[in-house]
Structure 1
């Protein structure tokens, strides 16, 4: 059974069941089906045929996004969702080869038509159509592999790559995740962009197939991007709705830990985190307060989740157990993965793209340790290794983790490739405290890995907006390029 058929079987079977809460409106399975039919009529009026077309979805997290995603699955289209936070160059690089672009308001339509004036663009709310002149399109490669999605992921340049996701991969991954997750119906609050595959999997597919509910944020609230200076509005939503299941970005976890009181937060909830390095002291403090956080690890190239801590077998400091559909081996510290959820390749790629070898193993580029129980610990990125002028190799994540043990440091990036010593970019700490913190950290490091220089970043929000991904990962190559003269 295809993944789409599995989802629609659930929708058709119980049309009166409430699934989605959108701005305090309860939306049933039957209403979802009716709205899918309504959108299909708008496509017909504009003579749009979706089958085997690559469809760009340029929308914030919303009910409209979900309807667009489901109709594309049903009509055997290939979706390429993008976050509207991307700049115009990034949007153009990803959507330049799609056949149709879907938006949900005139403002977004005006922006997209200015970026890609030759593309057909439709407003799913009004049915308004910009017909364009669709001459520069490309059939999605590997259609024989049943591609159902193309997911953006960071590249070495500012332009993201597009990863080809198979229908079979979604089917198997969601099935195995539901075997790990709590067995009761999942009530999920979506805060990060639905353009992220992991948010689609958790928020849309896992809630539907577990007979759960999906709570969408208010229209007035932007998708959480990890760099907001004030997380209070997002934390208030968690207090209000008390979901029993959700993804919490690392930045939200840090802000949750800073609260004087955690009253109103559900203590038996299944809160998942990952995507960026987590301060384990933060996890331990939240644990002491009664809030358990479950770390996971994944890549777009593996249809998102590779490993995750379950409610009955959590180990703080690890990314949990590798899921059973994946085989693994370690080569010189690097994690290699093989299995049914490995991607079918790339729609667009660059030199940072992962290699798949002759045996079918994906070379993740991540340096790891795995114990006999399949628990995974991430040590760093192979491609992030800094090679100093003295030929010493240093994983920046190793040194950064030492700095992040100090709560006054919100974040940091270690630079030094090709240089004589390491430099730390420090976010959040007062300049008067940086020297003493570095002195303490250096006392725990060998001579060759000690920090000899530091740069204080006063405007954290501006820096993260430019140099961090949506999931909180630093764009290291861009940071190195722009700060090389300061090292």
Structure 2
């Protein structure tokens, strides 16, 4: 039994009758005590051993089966590969081939698997299951879970994580939130196939002896990877009264808007973690004014998720918080962040051999140990005056203005920066750009604007997961010089 399972078993024995999970099971809302959950996971692990499988690809909405199968796979020493629903068919095919998964559980359709040898078998904990003909992949030794990054290009990369990797980050997070989150339950809003939610909605509550609510995306308002229904989210909050959630910056903006209209929705929270991208300082300040305990953090799959996070007792609102106890960081002369202490085993067939990992992120570390992520090394713009500007930083600040949420910054090699914005009111855009500039240093201010009704359909401007292809944006914006206007004071 690995170190994470031993820690969870200790909690099970200490409080067998406390509620561990509430969630969907066979279409109905149900609860599992710690003892019931542990027994169900052990029963499923026996089934997995009998099947003799090596690697499970789990493609399923949030619910009790997801949590049970996650722990059961570890008990059976079987590698688990979560499969995001928003992956394209080609990305899923790549994931299956790269991981060598030989058992599919959950929401799989035979039509999607043409060309594979498929054998349907009896359901596993209420979920459909199929054996799939697969060659054994060269997963790295000690791999417990493979999380596939969405990738800035088409094909995701499989990050191999050990049980020790998962335990270290989960225990550090449990230690951080223990003084704050002392009752209530965590509500999983992001998909459990997302490593951050996997850790915060399953492992951390189990280590804390607390409860977690696992609802499908439709039940919390999440549709795909980029659509969200605020009314459904509000209903879930009113029904379950969670003490903690993990949100992306966009979802925090939704929560802020909801709480402005209905303050009662915000009173249940003790800890709101925000990650996935830099958060606008104005949005974070607005959340705090409403009494929302929102705290920005930073992490990456190659470090088993969270590296740093703000807390109620140690907060710097514009930063990603202080580094967790299991990690160490340094910043090189180019401003790039390096991390050590809980590095993943590596990518499939590509073990990490160095003690320190170059994150590819630009960062600053102040005298109090607060880490601020300013952008990506490869995206850094250098103006004609030699000033380095992270476009992600400016874009994050722009998200605090309703008309600027589509803003992309261009201007590499130019004397000044240009905002590319899609919006139906150029007047609103110009007004908000002037307000944005008031909070930016002169070298990062946006002096010009290209305001459009929509992006062109014949130009590849975005990656598969919705990030701007910056060289393409630069070239395209240069072609549109005749439409660029100057932003006045």
Matches of 1:111 and 1:428 in 2, distance apart?
40
- Of 207, 223, 226, which aligns to 1:209? 207
Decide whether the 8 Å contact of 1:186 with 1:211 is kept in 2: no
Map of 1:237 onto structure 2:
236
Map of 1:109 onto structure 2:
109
Decide whether the 8 Å contact of 1:103 with 1:121 is kept in 2: no
SS at structure 1 position matched to 2:364: strand
SS at structure 2 position matched to 1:179: helix
Matches of 1:127 and 1:39 in 2, distance apart?
12
Cα distance per residue 1:99-150 (max 9 Å; x no partner): 3243324xx2325423x6236676535576544432x331312x1xx22111
1:361 to partner: Cα distance: 1.1
Decide whether the 8 Å contact of 2:256 with 2:287 is kept in 1: yes
Cα distance per residue 1:388-445 (max 9 Å; x no partner): 6887643212332443343432342224557787543435663332234345556756
1:292 to partner: Cα distance: 1.7
- Of 187, 192, 195, which aligns to 1:194? 192
1:336 to partner: Cα distance: 1.0
RMSD between aligned alpha carbons? 3.2
- Of 362, 365, 372, which aligns to 2:357? 362
Map of 2:51 onto structure 1:
48
Map of 1:328 onto structure 2:
329
1:420-439 pair list within 5 angstroms? 422-426=417-421, 430-439=425-434
Matches of 1:415 and 1:453 in 2, distance apart?
10
Matches of 1:82 and 1:31 in 2, distance apart?
26
Map of 2:41 onto structure 1:
36
Map of 1:352 onto structure 2:
none
Cα distance per residue 1:44-66 (max 9 Å; x no partner): 6xx5214xx23211112121111
Are the structure 2 counterparts of residues 196 and 69 from structure 1 closer, same or farther at C-alpha, using a change threshold of 3 Å? same
1:74 to partner: Cα distance: 0.6
Gapped regions of structure 2 (runs ≥ 5) = 456-461, 479-489
Decide whether the 8 Å contact of 1:103 with 1:109 is kept in 2: no
TM-score normalized by the length of structure 2 = 0.83
1:24-423 pair list within 5 angstroms? 24-40=29-45, 42-43=47-48, 48-50=51-53, 53-97=54-98, 98-105=100-107, 108-114=108-114, 117-118=116-117, 123-125=123-125, 130-134=130-134, 136-141=135-140, 143=141, 146-183=142-179, 184-185=182-183, 187-218=185-216, 220-221=218-219, 223=222, 227-228=226-227, 230-259=229-258, 260-266=261-267, 268-332=269-333, 333-339=335-341, 341-347=342-348, 358=354, 360-387=355-382, 393-416=388-411, 422-423=417-418
Matches of 2:381 and 2:208 in 1, distance apart?
44
Decide whether the 8 Å contact of 1:153 with 1:160 is kept in 2: yes
Matches of 1:455 and 1:467 in 2, distance apart?
21
Are the structure 2 counterparts of residues 126 and 241 from structure 1 closer, same or farther at C-alpha, using a change threshold of 3 Å? closer
Q: Which moved more, 1:410-419 or 1:157-166?
A: 410-419
SS at structure 1 position matched to 2:109: helix
SS at structure 2 position matched to 1:160: coil
Decide whether the 8 Å contact of 2:42 with 2:75 is kept in 1: no
1:195 to partner: Cα distance: 0.7
1:77 to partner: Cα distance: 1.6
Are the structure 2 counterparts of residues 229 and 200 from structure 1 closer, same or farther at C-alpha, using a change threshold of 3 Å? closer
1:305 to partner: Cα distance: 0.6
SS at structure 2 position matched to 1:243: coil
Matches of 2:423 and 2:449 in 1, distance apart?
17
Decide whether the 8 Å contact of 1:307 with 1:320 is kept in 2: yes
1:73 to partner: Cα distance: 0.8
SS at structure 1 position matched to 2:57: strand
Gapped regions of structure 1 (runs ≥ 5) = 350-354, 460-465
Aligned residue pair count: 459
